[in-house]
Structure 1
Amino acid sequence: MSDNIQEVLDGCLFFSVKRLDRALDKFTEEAFREIGMSHSYALVLFILNQENGKRYKDLANILCIAPPSLTKIIDKLASRDFVTISRDGRTKRVYITDRGREIIPIIGEVFHKTRQEFMEISQPCDFNNLIDQINHLTNQLK
C-alpha cells in the first residue's frame, strides 16, 4: 500500500465516484444558476413535463433522494408557481404548471449545453459507455 494518501484515495472507487459527484454538482449548479434555478429543481420540472402528476415517493426514487429533500425542492418550486401539489388522502402528487412548462425549453438548452461541455472535457473517454458502466454498477449494488 502506498504511503501517499492521495494515491490511495485516487485508487478507491468510492472516493473517486464521490469526488466526481461533487464536481458534477458544482458544474451543473453553475450552469443552472444562469437561469435562476438549481439542477435538482430543473430535473423535477423535466420529469413532470414528461410524466405529470408523479407521486412524491416516485419522484424521490427517480431522483435517488430522501423524501424530506424532495419536499424542500417541491415547496420551493410551488412557491415560484412552477408546480402544484395535490393531496388524495395520504398520497401527494405533483403537477407542473403552465409557468413551469414555459421554462422547459430553457432547461432543455442548459441540459444540452452541460452535456456537450462534459462530453468535450471527458475526451478521450467514451462518454456513453461510461454512463452505461456507471448505471450497471449502480444496479448491481442495489
Structure 2
Amino acid sequence: MEKNNVDNCILDNCLYFTVNKLSRAITRMAEDSFKKTGLSPTHAFCLMLVNNKPGISQSELAEQLHMMPSTITRFIDKLVMKGLIERKAEGKRSFIFPTDDGENTQQEIRAAWKDLFQTYSAILGEEESRLLTALIREAGNKLEK
C-alpha cells in the first residue's frame, strides 16, 4: 500500500503528467461546451480567428493556434467542407475568409466559450481560473523558447 502512495506522489510532482491530466479534464469540458456548435473546440477557435480577421493567412492561423501548418490545413479543409470558410489564393499563398454561415456561427462559438469558462470556474473559482490560465500561458511561452 505504501508503494502505491509513493508512485502517486511521483506522478503528482511531474509537470508532464500533471499537465496531461489537466488537458484531458479540460478537453472533456470543452467538447461538452462546444458540442452545440457542431464543431470541436479547436475548429471553433480557428473559425473565430477567421471571423475576427477575414483574409488571415494559414501560417498566421498556425502561429496563433500553436499548431503545425499541416494540422491547420486539415482544420481548414474541414471548415471549408462545412461551408463555414473559404480559401482565396494569391500566388503561392492562400488567405482564409468566413462565409456568411461562418460569420453567423460566431455568436454560438462565443456562447460555448463562455459556457466553458463558467463550467471550470464553477469548480476552480473565477479568479483561480484566470490566474491558472495566466500561469500556464506564461510557462508555455517560456518553454517554447
Residue 55 of structure 1, CA deviation? 0.8
1:65 alignment partner, SS class: coil
AA paired with 2:109?
I
TM-score (norm. length: structure 1): 0.91
AA paired with 1:20?
L
Matched, 1:42 2:44: yes
Kindly indicate whether structure 1 or structure 2 has the higher relative contact order, using CA contacts under 8 Å at least 6 residues apart.
Answer: 2
Residue 124 of structure 1, CA deviation? 8.2
User: Aligned residues, how many?
Assistant: 141
Structure 1's consecutive aligned runs of 4 or more residues displaced over 3 angstroms after TM superposition are none
Q: Find the partner of 2:120 among 111, 115, 118.
A: 118
AA paired with 1:43?
F
Rate the CA distance shift 1:124–1:27 in 2: closer, same or farther, 3 A.
closer
Residue 34 of structure 1, CA deviation? 2.4
CA distance in 1, matches of 2:29, 2:111: 15
User: 1:11 is matched with which residue?
Assistant: 13
Matched, 1:62 2:46: no
Matched, 1:91 2:93: yes
Residue 99 of structure 1, CA deviation? 0.8
CA distance in 2, matches of 1:83, 1:124: 33
1:34 alignment partner, SS class: helix
2:83 alignment partner, SS class: coil
AA paired with 2:85?
V
Residue pair 2:88, 2:95 contacting (<8 A) in 1 also: yes
Matched, 1:30 2:32: yes
Identity %: 26
Residue 125 of structure 1, CA deviation? 6.3
Superposed CA RMSD: 1.7
